[in-house]
Structure formats: C-alpha cells, structure tokens
Structure 1
Amino acid sequence: MSFTGFPVAALDFYDDLEVDNTKSFWEAHKHVWQESVQAPMKALMAALEPEFGSAKVFRPYRDVRFAKDKTPYKTHQGAFVGVAPATGWYFEISPRGTRVGGGFYDADGPRLAAVREAMADEKTGKALDRLLRRLEKGGFEVGGEQLKTSPRGYPADHPRIHLLRHKQLFVGRSYGFEADALDAGLVDRVREDWRALRPLLTWLSAVQVDRY
C-alpha cells in the first residue's frame, strides 16, 4: 500500500476520542482508526523505511497501571525509528495535526552521564551547540525535560549549562494542518526534516556508544 495521505477522518476520530475516551467509543469506531490512522501510518513509515530503517508504530492503548489519568486510549498516534536506545526519529498525528521530531527521549543513569560528558567536552559540546542553533534557525524547536538546577558535578556557570540540564533532548517541528501536513506530499516533508535531524541523531548515538 502506497502512502496517499491521512484523511480528515483521522483528525475527526481523535477529536471525538478526546471527548469520549471510553471502551464503548473505541469499539464502535475502531474501524475508523484502522482505516484512517493505522493503515496510512504504516504506509508512511514503509515509504521512509529504505532510507531510515524500520519503524515501530505504537499501540493505541495507554499504560494506566501507575497513572492518575485512567483514560484507556492515547489521543494521538506515534511512530518511532530508533538508532540507539530511546534515541531516534519520531512522527505523530493528533487532533492538532502532524509533527516530526528526533532526539533522545529517555536515558538511564550511565547513558545520560555519557551524553552530559560529551556536552561538557569542549569539542563535542560546541559541535552540538552549533548543530542545535542551526536547527533552530531552520524552524525547529528544541525541547525535552530539564533540571531546574545544575546536574551534579557541573558548575552553574558552565558555558553549556543550558544543554547539561537536559534529561531529554529532542528537536521537532509541528506541521499542524498545512497543505502538505496530511496529503501525499507529507512523505517528502517528513523525509526532508528527518534528513535535517540526522546529524543530531548521529551525535547522540555516537557519544552513547563511545562513552557508555
């Protein structure tokens, strides 16, 4: 199946799911999710696979075991192509349209320590800083959970303390409902942005392998 775009029904489905996040709604409309969300998502990821690798299309069910919010279904559909543990490219469709991203979304203690060591290093840290600034100039946004204070072992006046505070680091761009945010041209737009994010993922995967 070739990618021809996401139909408006995909957005309508998630609009309705946000209002009625129940098993009865899901069971009555699961066919809409399968046809308008799941199938196009798999087709989009298949179109990108030759260049970027196989994607994981996430399950629609939330893990509510330890969550205060017990609503059973995710109100978005995501897909992820990994290059290292919890590090890779991301794509999502939700009621707010589509968006892309890339970075590391979770790191255990040793891997996070390795990333921070590389951030603090004069050569590799400056290279990352330059890379992120170029991406921001290109319209991407830098995000990810951060500490409010300095991480242990690093002074508050470190020249890259803005990077060292990150517990996650990802860069993304929202497409919203623009003309090529949903139609067949979306595959080219995602491909171009994922290519732009490749140097960041190369940096992140390299420092985790080299220093971990």
Structure 2
Amino acid sequence: MSFTGFPEAALDFYDDLEIDNSKVFWDAHRDVYRDSVAAPMNALVAELADEFGEAKVFRPYRDVRFSKDKTPYKTHQGAFIAVAPATGYYVQIGAPGVRVGAGFYHAEAERLAFLRRAIDDDLHGAELEKLVDGLRRRGWQIDGDRLKTAPRGWAKDHSRIELLRHRSLTAMRDYGFDEVIHSHDLVEKIRADWRQTRPLLDWFVQHGG
C-alpha cells in the first residue's frame, strides 16, 4: 500500500475518541482505526524507511497499570525510528493533526551523565548549542523533560545550564490540519524536516556513551 495521506476520518476518529474513550466506542469504530489511521501510518513510515530506517508503530492501547487515568486507548497514533536507545525520529497523528519530531526521549543515568559531560565541554557543548539555536530559528519547538534547578554536581551559573537541565531533549514541529497531511506530499515534507534534525541526533549518538 502506498501512502496517499491521512483521511479526514482519522482526525474525526480521534476527536470522537477524546470524548468517548471506551471499549464500546473502540469496538464500534475498529475498522476506522484500521483503515484511516493504522494503514496510512504504516504506509507513511514504509516510504521513509529507505533513508531513516524501519519504524516501530506503537500499539493504540495505554498501559494503565500504574496510572490513575484508566482510559484504555491512546488519543494519538505515533511511530518511532530509533537511531540509539530512546533516540530517533517521531511522527504522530491525533485530533490536533500531524506532529513530527526528533531527539532523545529518555536516558538512563549513565547515558545522561555522558551527555552532560559533552554539554559541559566547551567544544562539544557549543556545538549542541548551535544546533539547538539553529533549529529554533527554523521554527522547531525545543522541548523535553527538565529539572527545575541545576543537576547535582553542576553549577547553577553554568553557561549552558539550560541544556544541562534536560533529562530528555526533543525538537518538535506541528503540521496541524495543513492540507499536506491529506496527500502523498506529506512524505517529502517529513523527509525534509527529519533531515534538518539529523545533525542533532548525530550529536546525541556521538556523545551518548
């Protein structure tokens, strides 16, 4: 199956799921999820695999074992292409439309220590700063889980303290309801955007231990 865009039915499906996140709703609309969400997502990442690698298309079910929120289904469909542990390219569709990103989404303590030592280094840290600033100028939202203060062992007035506070760091971009999400052109739009983030991922791979 070739990718021809996400149909309007995919957006409508998630609009309705946010209102009625129940097994009754899911069972009644399982074919909509299969045909309008899952199938296009699999086709999309298949067309990008030649350059970026094989994607993991996430299951639609939430893990509610340790959550107070017991709603059973995710309100978006995501796919992830890993280049290192918890590091890689991301795309999702949900009620707000399509979103893409790249970065490291989680780091174990040892790997985070490697990354922070690289951020501290005047050469490597300045390189990451330049990459992040360049993506911001291109319209990317730099996000991630951050400590409220300096990590243990690092000075609060460190010149790159904002980067050192990150426990994850991502560059994200929203396409929203842009008409491109309903066409094959979305493949090339994502391809171009992921290429912009490749130097950032390369930095994480190089300095992550």
- TM-score, normalised to structure 1's length? 0.97
Residue-by-residue CA offset, 1:39-62 (whole Å, 9 max, x unaligned): 000000000000000000000000
Q: Which runs of 4+ in 1 moved over 4 A?
A: none
- Which residue in the other structure is 1:131 paired with? 131
Q: Which residue identity does 2:16 align to in structure 1?
A: D
Q: Within 1, Cα distance between the matches of 2:109 and 2:16?
A: 40
Q: Which residue identity does 2:179 align to in structure 1?
A: A
* Number of aligned residue pairs: 209
- Which residue in the other structure is 2:106 paired with? 106
Superposition pairs for residues 92-171 of structure 1, below 5 Å?
A: 92-171=92-171
Q: Which residue identity does 2:99 align to in structure 1?
A: R
Q: Within 2, Cα distance between the matches of 1:132 and 1:109?
A: 22
Q: Does 1:198 align with 2:169?
A: no
1:181 is displaced (CA, Å) by 2.8
Residue-by-residue CA offset, 1:124-166 (whole Å, 9 max, x unaligned): 0000000111111001010001000100111011000010000
Q: Does 1:59 align with 2:70?
A: no
Q: Within 2, Cα distance between the matches of 1:75 and 1:68?
A: 16
CA contact (8 A) 1:98 1:182 kept: no
Q: Which residue identity does 1:66 align to in structure 2?
A: F
Mark the runs of 5 or more structure 1 residues left unpaired by the alignment: none
Q: Within 2, Cα distance between the matches of 1:191 and 1:120?
A: 32
Superposition pairs for residues 4-19 of structure 1, below 5 Å?
A: 4-19=4-19
Q: Within 1, Cα distance between the matches of 2:171 and 2:118?
A: 18
Residue-by-residue CA offset, 1:57-112 (whole Å, 9 max, x unaligned): 00000000000100000000000000000000000001000010000001110011
What is the percentage of aligned positions where both structures have the same residue? 57
> The residue matched to 2:3 in structure 1 has which SS?
coil
Q: Which residue identity does 1:54 align to in structure 2?
A: E
1:15 is displaced (CA, Å) by 0.4
> The residue matched to 1:24 in structure 2 has which SS?
helix
